[in-house]
Structure 1
Amino acid sequence: MQISKGRANLMLLMAAMIWGAGYIFTKLATNANMQAGLINAIRGFIYAGLAFLFFHKAILKMNRTDLQLGLVAGVINFLGYQFQTWGLRFTTPSNNAFLTAIYVVIIPIIIWFMYKRRLERKSYFAIIIAIIGMGFLTNVLHNGFTLHLGDLLTLISAFFYALQIVYFGMRATNTSPFVLSFMMGMTQGGFGLIWSLLFEHASYGAINWQAGLWPVIVLGIVSSFGAQTLQIVGQRFTDPTPAGLILMTESMFGSIFSVVLGFEPFTVHLLLGGVLIIIAILIMQLDFSRFRTVK
């Protein structure tokens, strides 16, 4: 299967939109007293089950290399989500969202350290504009930034998210995206279940299962199986840095859906932050060499 870079980036944008909407369902699940590990476990096993249902022919041909790549990708993904959710308990939502977006800065550092590849000049401008945009979007620039324990945990999660994007773009192209989807789901579900049984079992009695289970099922079907598969396939045909900038719009779409559904008011900061992030993505997509004067 071969697709154009433009179509691959569109797939990543669709994934970011779905994840943005997923904030609403995650909020519904956590409001029903479901913890991160349990949410991860249910989402992961739904993801793996659907992947096997639709892609079982490719999955049954899995070899040792596929297994290793899938396990590594799954562990990285699980750690990113767990540290982000854990950090949210000890910091503000705006700090959490802002610091998670720092992964767009970490991506080129990882690429340089592991592969000695330098970025194009426009990438630095795009990253700076995107970070400023996230500052407006999360209102950190207006309210100020106070360092909490959760901020350190969130930065750790940002590292794992950056590592995941680089891994998908540079290493995981050697295996079938459908096998990778299945392994991601199994790893997410398995480690989520272990985490939950070890650290969250005391909270099971307080869960409102009727209110919390259906949002997690939606997350498993749409956000995990749908969006994660779009990311895995899309990143095979584009570069990690623009992929990171596109996926960062997840927070922007989350704010948009939150405003549309009445969870938060529309503000100028939200508009300005969204515009700056879109400008950053456009900078990455444009080929500025075409605009140079030919002598």
Structure 2
Amino acid sequence: MSDEKNIEAPGASRRRAVPTWAWKLSLAACAAIWGGSFVVMKDTLDNIPPAWLMGIRFAASAVIVGVLFWRTLRDNLDVSHLTMGAILGVASGAAFVVQNIGLDDTTPGRNAFLTATYCVMTPFINWLVARQRPGRNNVVAALLAIVGVGLVALGDDLSLIMSGGDWLTLVAAVLFAVHIVLVARFSSAHDVMTLTVVQLAVSAVLALGVAVVTERPPAPEVFASADTWFSLGYLVLLSSCVCMVFQNLGQAHVPPAQASLLLSLESVFAVVASVVFYHELVTLRIAIGFGTIFVAVLVSELGARMGRGK
């Protein structure tokens, strides 16, 4: 998952002629690709341990994005970019590693929706960092998220049956929220694409470090499988490289509230993919919990702007 700020690439004036609906469609496409990645990663984790998978993904993405934006990297890379990018890389890399370790002990749908709570957490973490008090809509969203998580976590006998993977996913959501706040603080004085390349590289080092210490390396025969290369191609090329560019360009042309709504559809696409491909059984209680969390995301993202529009 990428949340870097907008970039103004060469030829931007020509891209302004593209209709707004096309940019909105590109953001929805990002959400669909990211939603499908939960199922792809779930299957791939059967053969490649989580930290190794993230390390491979980030390393390959750093090389590809670095090559594509090598002129920008050459012109802007300095100590400040390295420092700020490294901080972002630690936050992002830790979030993805923890999320995917959690995915190994939960279902793709639960992992996706619990991860989506970062949208609710972000205003409160930003309050701690930037001293910007969240609005009433954020409080309502937080309460809705608690209810939704409770519906997902509590069994029919009202006992807490939340798995270790579910708890790890919530930890990852906190880390994603921290990363979003840090990107907002760092990007105003730095080149975003340079920060992104450094972030990907540091995330790769972090993930591979965790992998070497805690996991066995994947068996060589795993990479003889066409399915493995399809999964890696999906995660590296689509989920990381393509979506990052689509997200940045789309957000340059779509109002932030609408862009956030479109990108939050990631968790909806994840559940759809989980049901279709992973055959996840969604009970009525869990479905209501998922829906409540999704409503919390919408309230958090859109409530403040709707209030200002009155």
TM range, normalised to the smaller chain?
Answer: 0.7 to 0.9
* Residue 225 (str. 1) matches residue 241 (str. 2): yes
SS where residue 207 of structure 1 aligns? helix
- Summarize the Cα distance change of 1:63–1:247 in structure 2 as closer, same or farther, 3 Å threshold: same
Q: Of 180, 185, 189, which residue of structure 2 is paired with 1:174?
A: 189
The answer to whether the 8 Å contact 2:49/2:217 transfers is: no
**Given the alignment of the two structures, is residue 25 of structure 1 paired with residue 44 of structure 2, yes or no?**
no
Long gaps (5+) in structure 2: 1-7
Shift, 1:80, TM fit? 0.8
Aligned equivalents of 1:167 and 1:153: distance in 2? 21
Counterpart of 2:4 in structure 1 is: none
Deviations 1:199-238 (A, max 9, x none): 3235535736413232012201111112244556777999
Distance 1:7 1:69 in 2: 33
By how many angstroms is 1:170 displaced?
2.6
Check conservation: 1:58, 1:178, Cα contact below 8 A. yes
Which residue of 1 is the match for residue 72 of structure 2?
Answer: 58
Query: Which of 201, 210, 224 is residue 195 of structure 1 equivalent to?
Result: 210
Aligned length: 286
Q: 2:62 aligns with which of 45, 48, 56?
A: 48
Contact 1:169 / 1:235 at 8 angstroms: preserved in 2?
A: no
- Equivalences for 1:60-99 in 2 at 5 Å? 60-61=74-75, 62-89=77-104, 96-97=111-112, 99=114
Residues 83 and 156, structure 1, Cα contact 8 Å, conserved in 2: yes
Q: Which residue of 2 aligns with 1:214?
A: 230
2:5 aligns to what? none
Q: How far apart, CA to CA, are the structure 1 residues paired with 2:56 and 2:224? A: 12
Residues of 1 paired with 2:107 and 2:276: CA distance? 22
Distance 1:186 1:39 in 2: 14
The Cα offsets for residues 232-251 of structure 1, whole Å up to 9 and x where unpaired, read as 67779999999877655432
Cα–Cα, structure 1 residues 98 and 43, in superposed 2: closer, same or farther, change >3 Å?
same
CA distance in 1, matches of 2:177, 2:191: 21
| RMSD of aligned Cα (Å) | 3.9
Q: Are 2:118 and 2:176, in contact at CA under 8 Å, matched by a contact in 1?
A: yes
Q: Matches of 1:274 and 1:146 in 2, distance apart?
A: 16
Distance 1:146 1:267, change over 3 A: closer
Q: 1:234/1:160 Cα in 2 relative to 1: closer, same or farther (>3 Å)?
A: farther
Percent of aligned pairs sharing the same letter: 26
For residue 102 of structure 2, what is the amino acid of its counterpart?
A: G
Does residue 110 in structure 1 map to residue 125 in structure 2?
Answer: yes
Cα pair distance change 1:208/1:250, threshold 3 Å: same
In the TM superposition, what whole-angstrom CA distance separates every residue of 1:126-161 from its partner, at most 9, and x where no partner exists?
44445555666xx44665532554454333322211
In the alignment, the residues of structure 1 paired with residue 280 and residue 89 of structure 2 have an alpha-carbon distance, to the nearest angstrom, of 33
- Partner residue in 1 for 2:48: 34
TM-score (norm. length: structure 1): 0.76
Partner of 1:183: 198
Hey, what does 1:287 align to over in structure 2? 306
Q: Sort the Cα spacing of 1:70 and 1:265 in 2 relative to 1 into closer, same or farther, 3 A.
A: same
Shift of 1:186: 1.3
| Distance in 2, Cα, partners of 1:42 & 1:273 | 34
How high is the TM-score relative to the length of structure 2?
0.73
1:163 aligns with 2:210: no
Q: Secondary structure at the match of 2:69?
A: helix
- Residue 250 of structure 1 is matched in structure 2 by 266
Q: Deviations over 1:9-53 (max 9, x none)?
A: 88765433321111122123123x111122112211221122123
Give the 3-state SS of the residue equivalent to 1:165 in structure 2.
helix
**How far apart, CA to CA, are the structure 1 residues paired with 2:119 and 2:126?**
11
Relative distance call for 1:25 and 1:90 in structure 2 (3 A) is closer
Contact 1:45-1:185 within 8 A present in 2 as well: yes
- Structure 1 residue 255, shift from structure 2 partner: 0.6
Q: Deviations over 1:35-80 (max 9, x none)?
A: 1122112211221122123211101111221111111111111111
Question: Residue by residue, what CA displacement relative to the aligned partner does 1:64-104 show, whole Å, maximum 9, x if unpaired?
Answer: 21111111111111111112223344566666455434433
Q: Contact 1:102 / 1:131 at 8 angstroms: preserved in 2? A: no
